[in-house]
Amino acid sequence: MPLDPRVNQLTFKIIACAIAVHRALGPGLLESAYFACMVAELRSQGLHVELGVPVPLVYRGLKLDCGYKLDMLVEGIVILELKTLSAILPVHEAQLVTYLKLTGKPVGLILNFNVTVMKDGIKRKINTD
C-alpha cells in the first residue's frame, strides 16, 4: 500500500532539515551536536518533535519496558534515528524496521551525519506490516 502523500512530503522536509544541518556543521562532530541542531532545525520549520519516545515490547500479551527509545518522533509519524558512523550497517536498518513494527509508525529515517555528502547518509524504511 502506498504511503499517504503527506508522509512523503514530511520526510522530504525532514531530509531538507538534515541537509541544512550537515551543510552548516559538516561531518566529524559528536552525535549529540547533530541531535541538538536537528531538533532546533525541525522546530524552526514548525514541526512537532518528541525526544526519547519509549518503545514498549509486547510479549505474550504483556507490555514490557525494555528500555528502547526512539531518538526522535516527528509529527507523531516519522521515526528518526541519528548516527555518526563510518557506515550504516544492516543492524542499524534492522533496529529501525523493528521500531516501525513495534510502534506501527509508517516510515522511519536513519540520518548518518558522518558522511561527506548528506544524501549518502540517509536510509528510509517503510513499515510493511
E strands within the chain?
A: 49-54, 57-59, 62-64, 69-74, 78-83, 107-112, 122-126
Q: Strands 78-83 and 57-59: what pairing?
A: unpaired
What is the three-class DSSP state of 20? helix
Helices and strands in the chain: count of H runs, count of E runs: 3, 7
Could you tell me the three cell numbers for 24?
Answer: 552548516
What digits encode the pLDDT tens for the residues 108-119? Answer: 999 999 999 999
Terminal-residue alpha carbon distance, the chain: 10
For the entire predicted model, the pTM comes to 0.94
- Kindly write down the DSSP assignment for every residue of 38-71, as one continuous string: HHHHHHHTT--EEEEEE--EEETTEEE----EEE
What digits encode the pLDDT tens for the residues 45-90? Answer: 999 999 999 998 888 988 888 889 999 999 999 999 999 999 999 9
